[in-house]
Amino acid sequence: MNKHFSPTMNRRAFVIGTAAVGAGLAIGLDLPFGGPAVVRAADGSPEIGAWVVIRPDDTVVIRIARSEMGQGSLTGLAQLVAEELECDWTKVTTEYPTPGQSVARKRVWGDFSTGGSRGIRSSQDYVRKGGATARVMLIQAAADAWKVPASECTAANSVITHTLSGRTTTYGKVAEAAAKLTPPAEVKLKDPKDWKLIGKGVKRLDTVDKTTGAMIYGADIKLPGMLNAAIKDCPVFGGKLKSFDEAKIAGLKGVKKVVKVGDTAVAVVADTWWHAKTALEALPIVWDEGDNAKVSSASIAKWLAEGLDDAQPAYVGNKNGDAKAAIAGAAKKVEAVYSYPYQNHATMEPMNATALYTADKCEVWCGTQNGEAAFAAVLEASGLPAEKCDVHKVMPGGGFGRRGQTDYVRQAVMIAKQMPGTPIKLLWSREEDMAHGRYHPITQCKMTGAFDANNNLIALHYRLSGQSILFSLRPEALQNGMDPAAFQGVAQSGEAAFGYSVPNLLIEHAMRNPHVPPGFWRGVNVNHNAIYMECFMDELAQAAGQDPLEFRRKLMGNHPKHLAVLNAVAEKIGWDTPAPQGVYRGIAQVMGYGSYVAGAAEISVTDGSKIKVHRIVASTDPGYIVNPAQVERQIAGSFVYGLSALFYGGCTVKDGKIEQTNFDTYNSMRINEMPKVESVMVPSGGFWGGVGEPTIGVAAPAVLNAYFAATGKRIRSVPLRDQNITFA
Amino acid sequence: MANLTINGKTFTLDIEPETPLLWAIRENAGLTGTKYGCGIAQCGACTVHMDGVAMRSCGVTVSEAEGKKITTIEGLASGDSLHKVQEAWIAQDVPQCGYCQSGMIMAVAALLNEKPKPTDADIDEAITNICRCGTFAQVREAIHTIASA
């Protein structure tokens, strides 16, 4: 296991509260006579508060509760702690506490969930306080040793200085004494203008092992005596496993056991995964597919289209004036229907988890976006109490929202439970991963815009029909049946607010939930809402005979932050000057995850069907930027994810199953298709927005609007491959 | 039984000859730096060198690999000194999740072997690995940095 990601906390030190804690997951505690307990890491080094461990050689170990899954939040979170800690950045390393340890310590590390571009923005306050708390304690320890007031001491670069005498010491030298102090009840955080590390594009902390093959991902876990499992779940969602003919694969090399996994799946356990997978393919399986086997993409599309009818019930998410009346009496109106398909996350590493179950313990090793949810799944599937379970997080080969779900963790435990004492590594084939995604929700949208006689937009009716993620995954978050997240990017207020003022506005959602399970797919509901709204904005501009940028600007007077990012891309791409010969531009903006983003594309089109994306300009205002080098990578990466979905994505349903099986039928952009992405960061300060997702929303509409500029043709459905449009 | 020469070492493996080289490397030789992404030679995560040529190891059988010199990501460095592609990857902070990068690095190393100063068109043609995080800009930049060194 590599140094950044191995769970290495102390199991040998004295343990208190064993009844609640259990020896397997406790962190060592010294019980001094008087004063608080000193908590120790695996090597005996003391904790200075829950977030920081200082070793005698001045190494700083920063605890990270959220999951690194590629977006760089591990490094960003360490920067936040280190900024306040005033430590030497070159001596920083990180480690993951386990969910079991967190539960045993009353969730001292807070939420482990890493989704919704929340990794940094939702933990920035308490992790910075964690760093500041440790700094205050370290300074106090030095001051106590020198018998001077702490107020006469300062800390920088892991060195504490008594300013009057010039005496110095280091964090490593006073860590033991600091650990025995009572943490301050309150700490003051730095003024952003004094930040030295936040805002700096420091190198990631997890790069080296990713270039040598040493990084351990879930699929790479090796445990003594471990066996490998391959699984097939009923390809029709909601269907069941009827029977399988184990005798047909008896005697195949390496096969150890064939097990039923719940009511819906069967797994082959073998010495190697290759043996397990080939045996599983040879295993005759009979499914009870149920009624869902009658569902197809066409039947779903028909059902969603019916939801576009105003006579059908719908939830109102954003409303202003009387849109229907204004449309009825308008001088001119424009209408269009758009659609967006299912998408698979297609993480590079298929789902997997390794579980070891014994009568009194269940441990799991896996990549997960939510250690605590994985932990809960282990408890549920094993039937063991919290103190007998734990989850050891390893690097996931991509998450994009998929690894926030715990189906694969549960399966691994269910298999391991049938083979007590033997560690079982369950790895999905790519085909299983394609068949059992938690797909980007499917929707359609009918939009109607109305103008007065002077071509002013007086009304907009946005009627979304389709799937709710929360209905499926977090029904407790529904509000009187309504999914508030369905309005991401077109909401009245909040972290994904609509950026236009229209006097008569109606934004509503006719919820229709097909049987294909939806999930949080990077960008989530912002993706389709941004395509619908931003492409339709272009249609409205065209109908009004106005420039798409100018048309938007007129509606954005009350939304200065939305407008600022739009203006930033317009300026950088040179919207006011002609594009090069044969090159056409499109523009889009949206707000999501607390950040304001805009994008502009320059494309050329050959034969009406071959698109070359020459240049992208993308602007982001996330309030504060922790690591601009990583933000730039998230912006560029968002175009890979968003444009792959636009050009090549789309999962279709036949006989209740997903038709796409692998990257040959669900392709992803390659380097030759990658446009140059120029990012313009305009952090306006005062708030914390996310950066991993919002930009995906503008990727597709910027290109689609440019396609219209080039061809005069509107594309209102995704993916482009269905219309024989591809990259040049 | 099969004899495979991986990273200069001979492995005598109890394995069926039709087993994909990828799984022989990962499970029988125990070298997990080479990744499984698709199993159908589409994504490139399993790229290794066979006699110096980049190959998608999921599409090569053990019998085809016997007698060939196989290099995986673990064998790219010379002792303690990293390969120039690995060094450039670290200098440019290329990886995000990193899962595709073993294959990406092996593909790039093979390209640079053949064409020490590749043009953008050469890169477009030779590097066809999938990266879902979207590191392509950094990959291209790192290649050019090596080429201009």
Crossing angle, helix A628-647 and helix A696-711, to 10 degrees? 50
B54 plus B26 within the same structural domain: yes
Tokens of A572: 């950088």
Do B132 and A219 make contact, defined as CB atoms within 8 angstroms?
no
Contacts with A, B 61-90, CB within 8 Å: 72-74, 76-77, 82, 86, 89-90
A702 CB-near residues (< 8 Å, 6+ apart):
A534, A586, A587, A588, A599, A600, A601, A616
B18 plus B71 within the same structural domain: yes
Cis peptide before A719 (omega within 30 of 0): yes
At A33, the pLDDT band (50, 70, 90 cuts) reads low
Write down the pLDDT at residue A278.
Answer: 98
B52 plus B89 within the same structural domain: no
Do A348 and B100 make contact, defined as CB atoms within 8 angstroms?
yes
Instruction: Give the rounded percent of residues in chain A with a pLDDT score beyond 90.
Output: 94
A65-78 burial code (b ≥16 CB/10 A, e <16): bbbbbbbbbbbbbb
Give the C-alpha separation, A504 to A458, whole Å. 6
Closest CA to A538 of A669, A712, A295: A712
Q: With an 8 Å Cβ cutoff, is B129 touching chain A?
A: yes
Do A273 and B86 make contact, defined as CB atoms within 8 angstroms?
no
Residue of B38, B111, B122 to mutate, interface with A, max A Cβ within 10 Å = B38
**Given this structure, which CATH class describes domain A297-343+439-727?**
alpha beta
> What digits encode the pLDDT tens for the residues A220-231?
999 999 999 999
At B71, the pLDDT band (50, 70, 90 cuts) reads very high
Q: Do domains A18-200 and A297-343+439-727 have the same CATH topology?
A: yes
At A433, the pLDDT band (50, 70, 90 cuts) reads very high
Fold adopted by A218-290+351-427: Aldehyde Oxidoreductase; domain 4 (3.30.365)
Q: With an 8 Å Cβ cutoff, is B36 touching chain A?
A: yes
Average pLDDT (A708-727) is 97
Contacts with A, B 130-149, CB within 8 Å: 130-140
B31 plus B62 within the same structural domain: yes
Rounded to a whole number of angstroms, the distance from the CA of B130 to the nearest CA of chain A is 6
Rounded to a whole number of angstroms, the distance from the CA of B95 to the nearest CA of chain A is 6
A679 CB-near residues (< 8 Å, 6+ apart):
A617, A618, A619, A620, A631, A632, A635, A636
Average pLDDT (A641-663) is 98
Q: With an 8 Å Cβ cutoff, is B56 touching chain A?
A: no
A184 CB-near residues (< 8 Å, 6+ apart):
A133, A136, A137
Instruction: Give the rounded percent of residues in chain B with a pLDDT score beyond 70.
Output: 100
Contacts of B94 in chain A (CB under 8 A): 207, 211
User: Is A652 in a helix, a strand, or coil?
Assistant: coil
Residue A22 in this model has a pLDDT that exceeds 70: no
Residue of A71, A211, A431, A673 to mutate, interface with B, max B Cβ within 10 Å = A211
Distance set, CA B57 to CA A271, A457, B24, B66, B73 (Å): 20, 58, 9, 13, 12
Mark which of B75, B97, B128 sits at the end of a domain. Answer: B75
> What digits encode the pLDDT tens for the residues A79-96?
999 999 999 999 999 999
Residue A28 in this model has a pLDDT that exceeds 70: no
Tokens of B16: 């069926």
At A2, the pLDDT band (50, 70, 90 cuts) reads very low
> What digits encode the pLDDT tens for the residues B111-121?
999 999 999 99
Closest chain B CA to residue A672: B124
Q: With an 8 Å Cβ cutoff, is B28 touching chain A?
A: yes
B51 plus B110 within the same structural domain: no
Residue of B93, B128, B135 to mutate, interface with A, max A Cβ within 10 Å = B93
Pick from A208, A220, A348: CB nearest B97: A348
Instruction: Give the rounded percent of residues in chain A with a pLDDT score beyond 70.
Output: 95
Write down the pLDDT at residue A20.
Answer: 29
Rounded to a whole number of angstroms, the distance from the CA of B79 to the nearest CA of chain A is 12
Do B132 and A208 make contact, defined as CB atoms within 8 angstroms?
no
B56 plus B104 within the same structural domain: no
Using alpha carbons only, what angle is made at residue A202 by residues A200 and A203, rounded to the nearest 5 degrees?
Answer: 160
Contacts of B130 in chain A (CB under 8 A): 348, 663, 668, 670
Residue A135 burial (10 A CB sphere; 0-12, 13-18, 19+): buried
User: Is B39 in a helix, a strand, or coil?
Assistant: coil
Rounded to a whole number of angstroms, the distance from the CA of B62 to the nearest CA of chain A is 13
Write down the pLDDT at residue A23.
Answer: 28
Q: Where are the alpha helices (DSSP H) in A180-296?
A: 208-212, 273-282
Query: Under a CB-based contact definition with an 8 Å cutoff, are residues A716 and A701 in contact?
Result: no
> What digits encode the pLDDT tens for the residues A274-296?
999 999 999 999 999 999 999 99
A139, containing H or E segment: helix A124-146
Spans of all domains in chain A: 18-200, 218-290+351-427, 297-343+439-727
Segments forming the whole domain that contains residue B21: 2-75
**A159-162: strand order across its sheet:** A153-156, A159-162, A168-170
Residue A3 in this model has a pLDDT that exceeds 50: no
Write down the pLDDT at residue A35.
Answer: 57
Do B137 and A676 make contact, defined as CB atoms within 8 angstroms?
yes
> What digits encode the pLDDT tens for the residues A235-258?
999 999 999 999 999 999 999 999
Q: With an 8 Å Cβ cutoff, is B11 touching chain A?
A: no
B71 plus B99 within the same structural domain: no
Write down the pLDDT at residue A615.
Answer: 98
Query: Under a CB-based contact definition with an 8 Å cutoff, are residues A325 and A501 in contact?
Result: no
Using alpha carbons only, what angle is made at residue A156 by residues A155 and A162, rounded to the nearest 5 degrees?
Answer: 40
Tokens of A710: 């080039």
Closest chain A CA to residue B27: A272
Average pLDDT (B31-56) is 98
At A166, the pLDDT band (50, 70, 90 cuts) reads very high
The CATH code that applies to domain A18-200 is: 3.30.365.10
Pick from A71, A219, A664: CB nearest B40: A664
Average pLDDT (A358-375) is 97
The single residue listed with the structure tokens 């879902």 is: B132
Residue of B36, B111, B143 to mutate, interface with A, max A Cβ within 10 Å = B36
Q: How many domains does chain B have?
A: 2
Residue A18 in this model has a pLDDT that exceeds 50: no
B71 plus B42 within the same structural domain: yes
Rounded to a whole number of angstroms, the distance from the CA of B80 to the nearest CA of chain A is 11
Contacts of A209 in chain B (CB under 8 A): 98
Average pLDDT (A11-17) is 29
User: Number of A:B CB contacts under 8 A?
Assistant: 177
Give the C-alpha separation, B43 to B34, whole Å. 12
CATH (domain of B106): 1.10.150.120
Pick from B43, B45, B98: CB nearest A215: B98
User: Is A365 in a helix, a strand, or coil?
Assistant: strand
B94 plus B115 within the same structural domain: yes
CATH (domain of B34): 3.10.20.30
> What digits encode the pLDDT tens for the residues A41-62?
888 999 999 999 999 999 999 9
Do A273 and B95 make contact, defined as CB atoms within 8 angstroms?
no
Give the C-alpha separation, B26 to B34, whole Å. 7
Mark which of B75, B99, B118 sits at the end of a domain. Answer: B75
Closest CA to A474 of A617, A373, A590: A373
